[in-house]
Structure 1
């Protein structure tokens, strides 16, 4: 599990919290979005879907196109 902007101390704290509800993971690691294109992509998509949920006007057409082309499953109607 990679969490954006997590430092070593926070990694330990998150690991302990996730053990409580028995969430399975191999390793928790922090990463800065500047260090990885994959993290940047995930961060951008998370922001886009947050904007979809908040019904930002710019997301409407792009979201429909993403669903139509099969990039995402429809989660907001």
Structure 2
């Protein structure tokens, strides 16, 4: 798996390839003073979760719930 994380203003754009599928997602963080390590780990988890849900039927709702939970924890 190859990850590409770019900071763009108030959000991070994460691109990755997983099992021959390409994923791209934007994640917003409300606090700007978080450590880069934490942001990287959170981004990797979100991309893995996206890859997992790609094979599930309830993908949109579950992924949206995951992102909301991730943002609320920051």
TM-score (norm. length: structure 2): 0.32
More strand by share: 2
More helix by share: 1
TM-score (norm. length: structure 1): 0.31
